[in-house]
Structure 1
Amino acid sequence: MSDRLFVNTDALCELLRWMRLKAEVYIHADFQGCWAVDTSGDRHVPFHLVHSGKSWLHLPGEEPRLLSAGDLVVFPHDAQHYLSSEDESPEQYLVDQPTGSDKSQGQITGLTCGHFEFGNKAHWPLLDSLPPAIVLELSDTSRLANTRSLIQLLVSELELAAPGSKVAVEHLAHVLFIHILRSQLDKGLPSGLLKALFDPKIGNALSLIHTRMEHNWTLETLALEVGMSRAVFATEFKRLTGQTAMAYLTEWRMMHATELLQTTELAIVDISEHCGYQSDVAFRKSFKKITGFTPAEVRRNK
């Protein structure tokens, strides 16, 4: 394994741990006749897998798209959508009928539906650079072989329904989320946090920030650690992430401070030190500037 892959994946893993990625599969069924499914609107990241048959994907303002067995569709921003049996926009009464309104005719389509969500509700722009809908054509045997194997294992666990299957499916769905992110990098994202996480040097800097936020980082020391000049590092970091390295570091520290205030009884002075502040006064001032609240207010309202 290359150093580049190891370092950058570390940065992504730490970010996903902090965001407390969760995954749930709540539909695994066959549909026949006239049917339609819409799982948008819950402020999650819905996904659908067509594991047999065919389905039509409907998005507002776009032509319907035919999905075949093995296709996976994901909605990073919870875009409104329908999956249905017909290429015409479905009638509302058909939406979310468990297995179709008429099971006496038509082909059978097997669907697996679920969503990803983040336990930590603070905004983080990991998905900002992604399109409204991502379709992975896993039926294409020349690409995404590992993702296809992962999907097959996930479906197998769902159908087996053996002891431990629910936890196994959740963990497999976590891995699937990472595969989805990687697939978008292969398409050449121009910028964004996801792109930055996999950049050889900026990803290294993000890993240092994520895992050693208590260190007294400066623009110069971060640039030195990743082997870049101060000016080039500053420019590249902002181009990829949309903010300065020091602003990113401060936000990362404040998000961790917020979590500690809400989930522990640590003294505020200890939290400030844990987050890299030598001065309790400086920490309180920075916290109020970033969050709009004092540490005491956050703790009282946890």
Structure 2
Amino acid sequence: MDVLSDLLVRARAGNTRVRQLIQRPPWSVTYADPPPLTVVATLGGSASARFDDAGAAAVRLAPADIALVKGPGRHTIADDPSTPPGFVIHRGRKHFPGGGEVAAQAQRISAPRTYGDSLPGATVMLRGAYELHGDAGSRLLDMLPPLAVVPAGPRTQPALDLLAAEIARDEPGQDAVLARLLDLVLVLALRAWCAGPQAVLPAWYRAAEDPAVGDALRLMHDDPARRWTVAALATEVGMSRAAFAARFTSLAGQPPLTYLTGWRMTLAADLLRDTDATVATVARTVGYDDAFAFSVAFKRARGTSPSVWRRKCVDTSAPRATRPGSEPG
């Protein structure tokens, strides 16, 4: 599995939500505590997106543009930057700007997962929310700035059209269909962003485009527990040891086994957070026969022992309070 695919699979914690928002100007929605990653796409009309930090500039979204928004920063989507606050989404519920929750019966639900009315001049938007988590999620989010806008294009448009066609359906397996279509939109948007001149890409993304180094990265991600050596990786990709080591280091910004150790520590951190596996079991899973050697490597990478890391994760974890179907997006 290639690196980006592996990160997408491992970072997903479920609870993917897709909503269609239909708003007639003037309108404004503020997301007070958004998820780690939000995908916003304009289907009809235009909109603006901005973070609510002082001095943050608004970004215009033309029809079929896609915005990738990183949480947890408070941000606002509106028809125009000058539109005053309309509603605030906090903890999955809709509130008035001055406080007070909007009653569920007062929210206009015109179709499954669709909020608003299809009136003339309305802006139609899709909003997908990803509850990414863990160190794998952090690696994925490191690819993006806080707000990345991908202009409409010939590859993203058909995916958006298909997602828009499915959003209001309510058939067996519909949630699975929408989750996979949202994944398609996300991957195409990520590719388009990374291909643009404005992207500051992580070294592994650039390195993955090289046939030999990309194959080596795929091997390490497919089997991180294998006792890889530089010589073994070089043999697998059909290069001499010296040439492979130099090429990998030049493109990835670090030697092959340094990358492998970093990836193993990412996997270990998430296993310690998300499972009850013993430290020894986690060590073997990521390629260490000796739990002590693993603990030393983990502390060097994370600044704390595996056991302390696990306790800190338990102490700081707090589930997001959401009520299914209660939030307009």
TM superposition score normalised by structure 1: 0.76
Residue 44 of structure 1 is aligned with which of 11, 36, 40? Answer: 36
CA contact (8 A) 1:127 1:194 kept: no
Equivalent residue for 2:193? Answer: 184
Q: Within the alignment, does 1:115 sit opposite 2:145 as a pair?
A: no
Deviations 1:216-269 (A, max 9, x none): 222333233323454554454345444432222112222333444455555544
Pair 126,234 (structure 1): closer, same or farther in 2 beyond 3 Å: farther
**More deviation in 166-175 or 275-284?**
275-284
Pair 222,171 (structure 1): closer, same or farther in 2 beyond 3 Å: same
Where 1:134 maps in the other structure, the secondary structure is strand
Where does 1:132-147 land on structure 2 (aligned, <5 Å)? 132-138=146-152, 140=153, 143-144=154-155, 147=156
CA contact (8 A) 1:20 1:120 kept: no
Per the TM alignment, residue 300 of structure 1 is displaced from its structure 2 partner at its CA by 5.9
CA contact (8 A) 1:79 1:133 kept: no
Q: Report the Cα distance in structure 2 between the residues aligned to 1:64 and 1:136, rounded to whole angstroms.
A: 15
Per the TM alignment, residue 31 of structure 1 is displaced from its structure 2 partner at its CA by 0.7
The number of residue pairs the alignment matches comes to 285
Q: Report the Cα distance in structure 1 between the residues aligned to 2:73 and 2:247, rounded to whole angstroms.
A: 31
Quick one: which amino acid aligns to residue 199 of structure 1?
D
**More deviation in 160-169 or 14-23?**
14-23
Equivalent residue for 1:279? Answer: 290
Per the TM alignment, residue 106 of structure 1 is displaced from its structure 2 partner at its CA by 7.7
TM superposition score normalised by structure 2: 0.71
Q: Report the Cα distance in structure 2 between the residues aligned to 1:72 and 1:47, rounded to whole angstroms.
A: 7
Higher relative contact order (CA 8 A, sep 6+): 2
Unaligned 5+ residue runs, structure 2?
A: 90-95, 97-106, 109-116, 315-329
Quick one: which amino acid aligns to residue 151 of structure 1?
L
Equivalent residue for 1:4? Answer: none
Quick one: which amino acid aligns to residue 91 of structure 1?
P
Where 2:180 maps in the other structure, the secondary structure is helix
Equivalent residue for 2:225? Answer: 214
Q: Within the alignment, does 1:73 sit opposite 2:67 as a pair?
A: yes
Per the TM alignment, residue 207 of structure 1 is displaced from its structure 2 partner at its CA by 1.0
CA contact (8 A) 1:12 1:197 kept: no
Quick one: which amino acid aligns to residue 171 of structure 1?
R
Unaligned 5+ residue runs, structure 1?
A: 1-8
Residue 170 of structure 1 is aligned with which of 179, 202, 207? Answer: 179
Pair 196,205 (structure 1): closer, same or farther in 2 beyond 3 Å: same
Q: Note the aligned Cα RMSD (angstroms).
A: 3.5
Equivalent residue for 1:12? Answer: 4
CA contact (8 A) 1:22 1:119 kept: no
Quick one: which amino acid aligns to residue 289 of structure 2?
Q
Q: Report the Cα distance in structure 2 between the residues aligned to 1:225 and 1:109, rounded to whole angstroms.
A: 52
Q: Report the Cα distance in structure 2 between the residues aligned to 1:62 and 1:259, rounded to whole angstroms.
A: 33
Where 1:163 maps in the other structure, the secondary structure is coil
Residue 89 of structure 1 is aligned with which of 57, 82, 87? Answer: 82
CA contact (8 A) 1:126 1:194 kept: no
Pair 235,167 (structure 1): closer, same or farther in 2 beyond 3 Å: same
Per the TM alignment, residue 70 of structure 1 is displaced from its structure 2 partner at its CA by 2.0
Where 2:288 maps in the other structure, the secondary structure is coil
Q: Report the Cα distance in structure 2 between the residues aligned to 1:265 and 1:78, rounded to whole angstroms.
A: 28
**More deviation in 156-165 or 125-134?**
125-134
Per the TM alignment, residue 66 of structure 1 is displaced from its structure 2 partner at its CA by 4.0
Equivalent residue for 1:54? Answer: 46
CA contact (8 A) 2:18 2:128 kept: yes
